[in-house]
Amino acid sequence: MDLIRKYKFPVINISQFYSRPGTVAAKWKKVDSKEVKRRSTETAKLFKSYPNYNLLKNTIQRVWIHDTKDEGRNPDEHVMVGHTKSYVKVLIKRDPELVGKSAIVKITDVHKWHVYGEIIEKNPKPIHVNFNHHFKGMYNEKKETVNNILNEIKKEQEDIHATIKINYEKDQENIDSIAEVLENSSQGKKDKWDLSSLLFVISLIFLYLGIDKIKI
């Protein structure tokens, strides 16, 4: 609550906790339902007590326009809908030719869930981002260090692949060994195999036949 009062977050997900059966949380002691409702109500009330976008008023924003009308709003208002890069909803005077384009807009008024703006420039120049410059300083890893990390990951993958993948010749050797065990056992033991022994041998055969088909 103190964080909300201090930073006045424009978006908050207010939801009650429900434990999923079979999880560790399901074993925890539950908070009384009245207390849960009290907390949710208090948080929602605090969130509704302040405007979300005061800092945007009188600022210049690039807005991407995607609809000629705002759903649920009176069509006579002649407004269309756009969003800023931080996905703030902006209502501006309707101009169907701008749908699918961006415009430079001055924010003139702010409300709880949206802001109003005036178009000051149509069809502004596209934004060109130099990603190398954009991310410079955010990551201190040098290119060669990153390549070393990638090579280590690749080597680990190759080791895993080599461990799991068994060639056909080795599979055949294993199958021959099982056949030999069956033959020796049948010679030394005239009676029939019991069900558990038979299932065990069959599972071994499927195991060795199946490993060859594992791909990474």
Mean pLDDT of the chain: 76
- Per-residue pLDDT tens over the stretch 112-135: 889 999 999 988 887 766 666 555
User: Can you state the percent helix, strand and coil of the chain, rounding each to 5?
Assistant: 45, 15, 35
> Which DSSP symbol is given to 178?
H
pLDDT at 10: 85
Report percent pLDDT > 90 for the chain. 23
- Per-residue pLDDT tens over the stretch 192-205: 555 566 666 666 66
Tell me: pLDDT of 105 over 80: yes
Q: What region, left, alpha or beta, does residue 182 occupy, with left being phi > 0 and alpha being psi -120 to 50 degrees?
A: alpha
* Cβ pair 117, 106 in contact under 8 A: yes
